[in-house]
Structures are given as C-alpha cells and as structure tokens.
Structure 1
Amino acid sequence: MSSARDLSKYEPFDGLFTRVQKFSHLVGVVLLQDVRTRYGGRSHLGYILGIMIPLLHMSVITGTFLIKTAISPVGDSPGLFVATGVIPYILCLYPAREMPRTLMENRQLLAIPMLQPIHLMVSRAILEMLSAIIALSIFVLGLYLLEIDLVPIDWHDAARAVAAAIFLGVGLGFFNTVMVAAVGFFYIMFFIVLAVTLYIFAGVYFPVNAMPEEIREYAEYNPIFQLVEWMRTAYYTSYDIGEVNKPLVLGLALAGLALGLIGERFIRGKILSP
C-alpha cells in the first residue's frame, strides 16, 4: 500500500509529461506541413528562398550604406557598424511580421479536432527562429568572405542581443497573430508602417550621440533602438552598457507573448470560424 501511495504522487507529472509530449508531436507535424504549405510542396528550393528574403534584406541595407559611406561613424569598419545595426532589426521584424500569416495559410488544418490555433502559432514561431538563425549565419559568413570581421569583443553580450531580438520578434508575433484574427489582416499593414518608423529612428546608420537631444529622448523608448545599442555594446568599448534599456526590450517581448497566449484562448472561436 505504501508503495502504491508513493507512486501515486508521480501521476500528475506523468500526465503533464504526456500532455507536453502530445503537444510537441502536434507542433512537429504542423511545422512540417507549414514548411510544405508556405514554401511550396516537397521542394527544398522554396525554403531556401524563404531564408534568402531576410538575408537579401540585410545585404541590401548593408550594401547601400557601404556605397554611400566610406568612413565609419564609430570604429574603423563601416560594414561592421551598419551590420550591428541591421541584424537586430531584421531578426525582430521577420518573426513579428510573418507569424500572423500562419492562420491564413494553414486554416484548413484547424478542421482537425485535435489541432488548435496555438499549435500553428508555436510551429510558425519555431520556423521563424530557425530561419532567422540560418539567415544570420549565412550573412556573417558572407561578411567574413568580404573581410568584414564580425567577431565581437563580448561574445556573451552579442549572443544575448541576438536572442533578445528574436525573442522580441516572436513575442510581437504572438500578439500580432491574435490582433490580425481579431481586427483583420490590415492590422499587419499598420505594424509594418510602425516597424519602418521605429527602424528610421533606431540609429542603424548613425551612433546615438549623433542624434539631437530631443529625438534621442523619444528614441530611448524605441525597442529597436535599444536592441541596436545592445548589439553595439558587444562590439565597441565606447558604447556605455548603462544606456541600454534591456528591461524595456524583454518586458515588451514577455508582454507580447503573454497577451498573445491569453488572446488566443479568448478569440479561439473567432479564429476557428470560417
């Protein structure tokens, strides 16, 4: 009897493990289907093109800056300076922008009773994170071949900045997915306009001390600006780590994730309606 009582206390954990295992399996199935649906059939070419889009975006912004600028505003390499600005922006933008498309592209999967919108949202988040990491790796390799050294002074802080950019993009992606389901796809157009505005005032092309004081006061509330500064503190000793508002970035990411998860429960019926 005592052994039975001892074993019974593990039953809730067994049930939790089973639910997590089932959830992971469903997300994996949806992930594979999402890749086929989004990138076209069984061809790997579609997925390669999906990675090329953010990669080309980073390359175009960097190349445009290098054509116009021969002297770096900070340090000796203009390529390094603009790369440390564009990387966090792209890593944040694409998950936040592409995640809401999953409900539109995979709505037919919701006809399967065991699948819920949360499975689609998590699978797209994983796909976007993997795509971002692959695109970043190729971009860094390309810069290395062009003799632009992207080795940071502080590896740990650079990794944290990259992780924070992706985390903010995923958190906003969950929130944007719910908002698109609630108010319509035009919301994503509003988000793109907002993202471009934040990009303009993020200091990608110029250092923070080049901003007028009145603009800098507002820019400090810009999470993209904070991500760019966070990344650059890992490369330039002249950047003061105290200027980076990390709680703002992480707080917005957590708030977006929490609101997205809560909102998915409240509007699930609306999402599932034809």
Structure 2
Amino acid sequence: MSQISESANEDVQLPHKKISAPPHELKEVRLHRRFASLRAISALILREMQTSHGRASGGYLWAIAEPVGGIALLTLIFSAGFRTPPMGTNFAIFYATGIVPFMAYLDMSGKVANSIRYSKPLLAYPAVTFADALVARILFNTITHIIVASLIFTGICWVMETRTDPQFDQIALGMVMALLLATAVGAMNCFLFEAFTWWQPIWSILMKPLFLVSCIFFVFDNIPLPYRDYLWWNPLVHVVGQMRHAFYPSYYGDYISYMYVFGLSLGILALGLALLVRYHRDLQNS
C-alpha cells in the first residue's frame, strides 16, 4: 500500500507539460489574425468614407472638394492683396506651397487624435483593435490629402503662369514629412486626449498661432535674428521649406533638417504608440 501511495504521489508531483500547437496550425492562426485585421481596417475605411459627408449629395467627393475649395479661395483672396510674393513672381503658388502641407498636418493630426473616440463603439468587438482604428484613419486621410495637394498644385500651375519647376520627388518628400509629423502628433494626442480631458482645449489654444509661425506668408531666411533661431525648432518650418524647395529649385533652404523632422516624428510616434499599447484598454473603458 505504501508503495502504491508513493507512486501515486510521484504521479501527482510530475510537472505538467506545455501543450503547443503544431507549426502549421500556428501559421494558420497568424494568417487568420492578419486577414481579420485587414477586414477590420477595410471596414473602418468604408465607414469613414460613408460618414464623411455621407448624407450629402456626392458623398466622399465633398471630403476632397471642401479643402480644395477652401484653400483655393484663400489663395485667390491673398493673391489679390499681395501682388508681389517674397519668392518668385506668383503669390498663389507661393502661398499654396505653405498652406497645403500645413492644412494636411493640421487636419490629419486632428483626425488621428480622435481615432479611439470616433471608433469606441466598434472597439468593444474583439475583432477590432485600437491599432485598426489608427491605421484606417491614417490611410484614409493620407490618400485624401495626396489627392487634395495634387489637385491644388496642378490647378494653379495649369491656370496661372507660376514660373516654377516642380520636382515631384521633392514634393513627395515634403508631403511625407507633413503626414508623418501629423501621424506622430495625432498618435500622441490620441492617448493624451483620452487620458486627460483638459489637454484637448489647451492643445487647441496652443495651435492658434501656429498658422503665423510656420513661414506660410514669409520666407524663413528673411526673419531677423534671434527670432529665426527660435522658429527653427518648429518642425513645420522645415516642412514648408522643403515644399518651397520642391517648386523653386534655386531656393536651397540650407536650414531644412530632415534628420530633425523625421527623428522628432518617429520619436513622438514611438512614445505615443507605446502609451496606447499600455493603456488602450483603460482608455476604451473610461
């Protein structure tokens, strides 16, 4: 009996072996998750298209026509008041090279910042994650602003004599800088807006003078010292400078720092995503 008891005890004390699925089953699970994420992102993009002026006649076209019309109207108004631009001979294209990347940054950063709040009802479903909501808004608004920029620049160059030499690779680089910065700031604010309710109105106040200190109406090189050194830390100054360098090849813009803009954007994006990964469940339940 004692031998049986000892053998029973030995059986009980045996460590449990971890049961792992075969490699082919793990691959199937990963593929299923990827396809589920792609389906969720596609559904969120379609939802974004439907809710963006979805009830108005024309639907998604208004999401493009509204910023194109607004920027075009502002361009015409300021062109009538400022005949001689600080650079080149055409004020419309000078102003557009500043306002287009600025508005792309402003609109996209705001849309990404409200991703969780906008899709919070859908995040209750296990198939939809906060990352899906972020990626869907980033893709949707990136495509929209690329179309808007293409229409505005093409329209101005087609209608007016701008005497510029657009470099498409440099234009693309300027848009990448603007949209990456917007994504980074939006991801960080996506956490801050939900975690601290007082941060959104404060951020709105801080953004008010940004229009005046981003070199939209003037050239960075013409700003007297020491104010020029202060404005250099505004990453949008580099974005606008890059866009003007793309249209005015003779304008070198020696102050433009790609390392500063991309480094700052990637750093803010990494921190924002880390905070969202850590606290997204608390934010969804709040």
TM-score, normalised with respect to structure 2: 0.82
Encode CA deviations 1:5-41: one digit per residue, 9 max, x unaligned.
Answer: xxx8888776655443332221111221233234335
Structure with the largest fraction of helix:
1
Aligned to 1:3: none
Kept in 2, the 8 Å contact 1:199–1:224? The answer is: no
Aligned to 2:212: 200
1:150 CA displacement: 8.3
- Asked whether 1:211 is paired with 2:223, we answer yes
Q: Which moved more, 1:60-69 or 1:156-165?
A: 60-69
Name the amino acid aligned to 1:181: E
Aligned to 1:170: 183
Give the RMSD, CA atoms, in angstroms. 2.5
1:209 CA displacement: 2.5
Encode CA deviations 1:169-196: one digit per residue, 9 max, x unaligned.
Answer: 1221111111111112x53333333333
Aligned to 2:16: none
Q: 1:117-266, aligned counterparts within 5 Å?
A: 117-149=130-162, 152-184=165-197, 186-266=198-278
Q: How many residues align?
A: 265
Give 3-state SS (helix, strand or coil) of 1:172's partner: helix
Distance in 1, matches of 2:24 and 2:137, equals: 33
Encode CA deviations 1:49-102: one digit per residue, 9 max, x unaligned.
Answer: 222333234224322320211112111221121111112111211110122233
Kept in 2, the 8 Å contact 1:170–1:257? The answer is: yes
- Asked whether 1:35 is paired with 2:49, we answer yes
Structure 1 unaligned regions, length at least 5: 1-7
Q: Which moved more, 1:259-268 or 1:224-233?
A: 259-268
Distance in 2, matches of 1:13 and 1:169, equals: 35
Distance in 1, matches of 2:274 and 2:268, equals: 10
1:44 CA displacement: 6.2
Aligned to 1:4: none
Aligned to 1:90: 103
Distance in 2, matches of 1:75 and 1:38, equals: 37
Q: 1:25 aligned to 27, 39, 54, which one? A: 39
Encode CA deviations 1:95-127: one digit per residue, 9 max, x unaligned.
Answer: 101222333332211221221222111111111
Does the C-alpha gap of structure 1 residues 82 and 258 become closer, same or farther in structure 2, counting only changes over 3 Å? same
Name the amino acid aligned to 2:247: Y
1:251 CA displacement: 1.7
Q: 2:129 aligned to 116, 123, 132, which one? A: 116
Structure 2 unaligned regions, length at least 5: 1-21
Distance in 1, matches of 2:47 and 2:149, equals: 24
Give 3-state SS (helix, strand or coil) of 2:247's partner: coil
Give 3-state SS (helix, strand or coil) of 2:251's partner: coil
Distance in 1, matches of 2:29 and 2:161, equals: 52
Q: Which moved more, 1:31-40 or 1:21-30?
A: 31-40
Encode CA deviations 1:222-260: one digit per residue, 9 max, x unaligned.
Answer: 011111111111222442243101112112221232122
Distance in 2, matches of 1:44 and 1:250, equals: 39
Distance in 2, matches of 1:164 and 1:264, equals: 23
TM-score, normalised with respect to structure 1: 0.85
Kept in 1, the 8 Å contact 2:108–2:182? The answer is: yes
Kept in 1, the 8 Å contact 2:37–2:128? The answer is: no
Between the aligned residues of both structures, percent identity stands at 22
Distance in 2, matches of 1:120 and 1:173, equals: 12
Name the amino acid aligned to 2:154: L
Aligned to 2:13: none
